[in-house]
Structure 1
Amino acid sequence: MRKVGLILEDGFQLMGLAALAAFELANAELGDEGYQLTVLSERGGTVRSSMNAGIETVALGVMPDTLIVAGELVPSAISPGLRAYLTQAGREARRVAGVCTGAFVLAEAGLLDGRMATTHWAHANNLRSRFTKVTVDEDRIFIRDGNIWTSAGMSSAIDLTLALIEDDHGPALSRSIARKLVVYHRRPGGQSQFSALLELEPRSDRVKRALSYARENLRKPLSVEELAEAANLSPRQFSRIFREETGQSPAKAVEMLRLEAARVMLEEGRHPMEVVARDTGFADRDRMRRAFLRSYGQPPASLKRSLKLMEDSTII
């Protein structure tokens, strides 16, 4: 049975506990071959979250196989004792992971020096400026560099732990757990933290409904008339309201959704370009290529190669 320890310190975010959810479900399938889960803190006892919820913890002691550090709402300096324990973990634990701003804790202990890491996009510049020996890529869901793993925002803790389980027991178990968690299996580490729908930020239910319809029907032409019908508005009303709420034309927003879907398919690496273009509504490779050049500055084939090189360099 592999031992997994999750370190919490006062001010931790409750979502950090999601890091243990996938391991808990894995135990239901693995039994004695599963994971022994322990919630840790430097001195043990009750640790309080940023919402003042108390969690009982065990004091740091025997080094687990996998050590995970949960993030805090606002990253703070760590104690000499915790720094020493994490430095030891870098040498002795099979894997050490930082969830969200947990990357700051690993960086303070020197575990990220000379490595590539990620964190929540809102904290990436701070991590980069404070720890100049760390290569920060804020556009990643999670990154593995040797035995050190880091992930983006708190929800990505699930993506990271699914990847850890896959690393231990293969993709079949990881897929099974993802289904039980009712999450996509699993967002690739290289997938962007950013979402086209979040960037557009529509206010009204009608525009949200039109965008949801578009995302679910990317293979269709998705004319203004079709989107306006989904929003139950006239095409003229729809175009005006859509631009007021999103700052984009409907056609540009649809292209953003198509690009996001195409990039995910490229990251998965299993689809020929013709299939990606067809399934995301670009109709042909040339139209998709022009859209990629406008948005990413490189054609999809080059982006696919760079993503593959990035995964190869950070999964060691």
Structure 2
Amino acid sequence: MAQHRSVLVVLFDDVQSLDFTGPVEVFTGAAKSSGDPDTYRIRTASLDGGPVRTSSGLTLVPDCALHDAADPHTLLVPGGQGTRTPDPQLIDWLRERAPGAERLVSVCSGALLLAAAGLLDGRRATTHWNVCDRLARDHPAVEVDPDPIFVRDGNVATSAGVTSGIDLALALVEEDLGRETALTVARHLVVFLRRPGNQAQFSAQLAAQTAQREPLRDVQQWITEHPDGDLSVESLAARARLSPRHFARAFQAETGVTPGRYVERIRIEHARRLLEDTSDGIEEISRACGYGTPEAMRRAFLKALGSPPAEYRRRFHAPVPR
């Protein structure tokens, strides 16, 4: 007999709607795919059971009041502007009732609510990059990791901003129901299955600034599309129609990183995606990413990630720990 899991979503004024609708769509889609609509039984609740207004102006009508809700299997705490000055009664409820859930999940700044209730003390956690400093400053007992898109620590899972809640929900569905169900949901939602939790919140392109001048922006785009090309400073400078010295100075001034560092990040990111999403061999991937040889890619991975490509692939495809 299939296991039924209840999911309780905490709602409050100024909640970010995408923080909970994304995961809810994942759980709902998984239930439909499993053929049993009760695979995930989802309920929403606010403090008094009354309507709440999201940060985008939508009005939501919860199913019940938090005090009337039974302890769920999964308690989902979204983020939003309402986490900045939360209702003390909400923190009290979380402190008292959240430990009764088998699994605690926060999305975005929802981690601030869990931390305020003491539920993240002694645990590793993440949140939206914009509030990581605040989480670390206000809650020194929490081990804040600002880089991953989600973090699992025991039965507590925290995630970064908005869409990372979908990534985390897909990982939970994979754990509960298997990879095929999670993959079916991901395909339906037209998202990837699955970005690993340790993937950085920023891609190489987002981590660097976009150059102001069009020739330099074009070079950035060309690097991204041709990681296996000649990406020497001389070659890139010629593409931008600048001298190598002028190009190197201008590129760093406008993007915040040297051309070499930018190329390094793009190649590592491309190699990681191929290791995660394809069965291509290490030698083939090293050529596709411009390393030339597996040994060159191995050295780059050890420097950037602390593990060789084969070990990275093994960890990524290992079963999700329960």
Alignment partner, residue 35 of structure 2? 31
Shift of 1:132: 1.4
SS for the counterpart of 2:175 is helix
The answer to whether residue 94 in structure 2 is matched with residue 86 in structure 1 is yes
Q: In 1, Cα distance between the equivalents of 2:257 and 2:101?
A: 49
Shift of 1:206: 6.5
User: CA deviation digits over 1:169-198, x for unaligned, max 9?
Assistant: 011111111111111111101111121111
The answer to whether residue 65 in structure 2 is matched with residue 59 in structure 1 is yes
Residues 151 and 160, structure 1, Cα contact 8 Å, conserved in 2: yes
User: Where do 1:111-260 residues align within 5 Å?
Assistant: 111-202=119-210, 203=212, 210-222=219-231, 235-236=241-242, 240=247, 245-248=254-257, 250-260=259-269
SS for the counterpart of 2:180 is helix
SS for the counterpart of 1:139 is coil
Residues 146 and 315, structure 1, Cα contact 8 Å, conserved in 2: no
Residues 282 and 310, structure 2, Cα contact 8 Å, conserved in 1: no
Alignment partner, residue 308 of structure 2? 301
Shift of 1:69: 0.4
Residues 83 and 108, structure 1, Cα contact 8 Å, conserved in 2: yes
SS for the counterpart of 1:52 is coil
The change in CA–CA distance for 1:252 and 1:133 in structure 2 (over 3 A counts) is closer
Mean CA deviation greater in 184-193 or 274-283: 274-283
The change in CA–CA distance for 1:131 and 1:286 in structure 2 (over 3 A counts) is same
Mean CA deviation greater in 256-265 or 163-172: 256-265
SS for the counterpart of 1:97 is strand
The answer to whether residue 22 in structure 2 is matched with residue 18 in structure 1 is yes
The change in CA–CA distance for 1:299 and 1:278 in structure 2 (over 3 A counts) is farther
Residues 33 and 184, structure 2, Cα contact 8 Å, conserved in 1: no
SS for the counterpart of 1:32 is coil
Residues 277 and 288, structure 1, Cα contact 8 Å, conserved in 2: yes
Alignment partner, residue 277 of structure 1? 286
Shift of 1:26: 1.8
Which of 3, 6, 10 is the matching residue for 2:9?
A: 6
Residues 70 and 99, structure 1, Cα contact 8 Å, conserved in 2: yes
Residues 213 and 227, structure 1, Cα contact 8 Å, conserved in 2: no
Residues 64 and 93, structure 1, Cα contact 8 Å, conserved in 2: yes
Q: In 2, Cα distance between the equivalents of 1:134 and 1:161?
A: 22
SS for the counterpart of 1:36 is strand
SS for the counterpart of 2:42 is strand
- Give unmatched runs, 5+ long, in structure 2: none
Shift of 1:47: 0.7
Query: Which letter maps to 2:57?
Result: N
User: CA deviation digits over 1:37-89, x for unaligned, max 9?
Assistant: 22221112211122322111131121222110010236334445423432344
Shift of 1:32: 2.3
Q: In 2, Cα distance between the equivalents of 1:128 and 1:270?
A: 39
Residues 278 and 284, structure 1, Cα contact 8 Å, conserved in 2: yes
Q: TM-score, normalised by structure 2?
A: 0.80
SS for the counterpart of 2:7 is strand
Query: Which letter maps to 2:164?
Result: S
The change in CA–CA distance for 1:89 and 1:166 in structure 2 (over 3 A counts) is farther
Q: In 2, Cα distance between the equivalents of 1:184 and 1:199?
A: 20
Query: Which letter maps to 1:161?
Result: A
Query: Which letter maps to 1:24?
Result: T
SS for the counterpart of 2:104 is strand
Which of 41, 45, 61 is the matching residue for 1:40?
A: 45
- Give unmatched runs, 5+ long, in structure 1: none
SS for the counterpart of 2:45 is strand
SS for the counterpart of 1:12 is coil
Alignment partner, residue 70 of structure 1? 78
Q: TM-score, normalised by structure 1?
A: 0.81
Q: In 2, Cα distance between the equivalents of 1:153 and 1:121?
A: 8
Residues 290 and 299, structure 1, Cα contact 8 Å, conserved in 2: no
Question: Aligned pair count?
Answer: 308
Q: In 2, Cα distance between the equivalents of 1:139 and 1:11?
A: 26
Residues 139 and 191, structure 1, Cα contact 8 Å, conserved in 2: yes
Mean CA deviation greater in 259-268 or 33-42: 259-268
Shift of 1:2: 2.1
